[in-house]
Amino acid sequence: MNNWKSMRHATVLVALLAVAAAQAATNLLSAKDTEFVTHAAQGGLAEVALGGLAADRVRNDMVKDFGQRMVKDHGDANAKLLELAKGKGFEPPKTLSAEHQASLEHLKSLDAAAFDQAYVDAMVKDHRKDVAEFEKQAKGADDPDLRRFAEQTLPTLQSHLDAILDLQESL
């Protein structure tokens, strides 16, 4: 009986390893490009979630408009990135990272008066990081399609950074 259980467990383990190997073999992106796609997808999801929260909670109309812009622009970019990654055999995450989830929960906990400034400060920090990551990828991605995606997305991210810096200054 024990021998039968051991054989069954070994069979299941072999099957799981085969599936994992097949999935890894179908990913045509380098490790560096896969890491970028993962971070960009999670960052984009966070921008959409935080933008939606901002559109509902802020007191300042300019900040509200910015939040709505994040939902649209990052939603569009996420869709393009997802399609590109899937075409390369990689499935990006569809959930927020623990760090982004913590940021979302923190912003949810703030009252309306504190929310505007905290959201704007978070967007400045995120977009500085995004612009730097996309600049690096636009110059050094191993995959030419991913490089083109980064190049095409970068001007939008830079305009987001410029807009949120202006908002931060005006608050």
Residue 5 domain-assigned (yes or no): no
Residue 109 domain-assigned (yes or no): yes
**How far is 159 from 18, CA to CA, in rounded Å?**
45
- The answer to whether the pTM exceeds 0.85 is no
Q: Are 105 and 122 in contact (CB under 8 A)?
A: no
* Residue 139 Cα distances to 60, 108, 147, 148, angstroms: 37, 37, 7, 9
| pLDDT tens per residue across all 171 residues of the chain | 555 455 555 554 454 444 444 444 589 999 999 999 999 999 999 999 999 999 888 889 999 999 999 999 999 999 999 999 999 999 999 999 999 999 999 999 998 879 999 999 999 999 999 999 999 999 999 999 999 999 999 999 999 999 999 999 998
Residue 15 domain-assigned (yes or no): no
Other C-beta atoms within 10 Å of 4: how many?
A: 8
User: For 82-132, what is each residue's pLDDT tens digit?
Assistant: 999 999 999 999 999 999 999 999 999 998 879 999 999 999 999 999 999
Residue 4 domain-assigned (yes or no): no
Residue 164 domain-assigned (yes or no): yes
User: What range does the domain containing 121 cover?
Assistant: 28-170
Phi, psi of 32 (to 5 degrees): -65, -45
**CA-only gyration radius of the chain, Å:** 20
Residue 3 domain-assigned (yes or no): no
Burial (Cβ within 10 Å: 0-12, 13-18, ≥19) of residue 9? exposed
Other C-beta atoms within 10 Å of 130: how many?
A: 24
The CATH number of whichever domain residue 32 belongs to comes to: 1.20.1260.10
Q: Are 141 and 36 in contact (CB under 8 A)?
A: yes
Q: Are 92 and 81 in contact (CB under 8 A)?
A: yes
Q: How many structural domains are present in the chain? A: 1
**How far is 103 from 126, CA to CA, in rounded Å?**
11
**How far is 85 from 112, CA to CA, in rounded Å?**
38
Residue 67 domain-assigned (yes or no): yes
Residue 23 domain-assigned (yes or no): no
Q: Which of 92, 60, 154 is nearest to 68 (CA)?
A: 60
